[in-house]
Amino acid sequence: MSRPTSPSDERRKVGMLVPPPILLLALIAACVGGQVFWFGGFSYSTTRSVLGILMLLASLALIASCASLFRKAGTPFRPTSPATAIVRDGPYRISRNPLYLGMAGLLAGLGVLLGGPCFGAALVVFLIVVHFGVVLPEERYLESVQGEAYRQYKRQVRRWV
């Protein structure tokens, strides 16, 4: 009898360094802590608040759209689950990684909203770790599982934007 695969088993199979939602939450926590303890808290500006909230709402809408498209395609939304289909609709016509762009938008929106310089650094860290530790291994995995269908998708759609 075979043992059920755990999310960490699937993550290792893909070669993913860390699940992006875990990375995102860790960076947000580090930024909030850093801002409070090292930079003396957050600053307020009406203009920044409106812009930050709009960025957060747009990012959440993009993430929700990606989740809906994954459900519609019948493929798991969790990054540690094996892909069963290539999603090509909606924002996936423009970018192969709109979900990760939405997560990056959450960091940027929080930085604008809260006036925290830590979030700018966290955004850079997020994009570097996601690119090298998630996207590149994920693409190798998808190509090995989906073959020519994924190679064709890669030729048609840019990785980021």
Q: In this predicted model, what pLDDT tens digit does every residue of 94-111 receive, in sequence order?
A: 999 999 999 999 999 999
**How many CB atoms are closer than 10 A to CB 42?**
13
Q: Does residue 4 have a pLDDT over 50?
A: no
Number of domains in the chain: 1
CA angle, residues 53, 20, 131, in degrees to nearest 5: 100
Q: Does residue 11 have a pLDDT over 60?
A: no
Q: Does residue 10 have a pLDDT over 70?
A: no
What mean pLDDT do residues 7-25 have? 75
The answer to whether residue 17 is domain-embedded is no
The answer to whether residue 112 is domain-embedded is yes
DSSP 77-98: -STTSPP-S---SGGGGTBS-H
What mean pLDDT do residues 61-69 have? 96
What tens digit of pLDDT does each residue of 21-31 get? 999 999 999 99
The answer to whether residue 9 is domain-embedded is no
Query: Bigger pLDDT: 83 or 86?
Result: 86
Look at residue 13 in the predicted model and tell me its pLDDT: 60
**Residue 73 structural domain:** 43-156
The answer to whether residue 28 is domain-embedded is no
The answer to whether residue 83 is domain-embedded is yes
Query: Bigger pLDDT: 122 or 15?
Result: 122
Query: Bigger pLDDT: 11 or 124?
Result: 124
The answer to whether residue 128 is domain-embedded is yes
Q: Please tell me the pTM assigned to this model.
A: 0.86
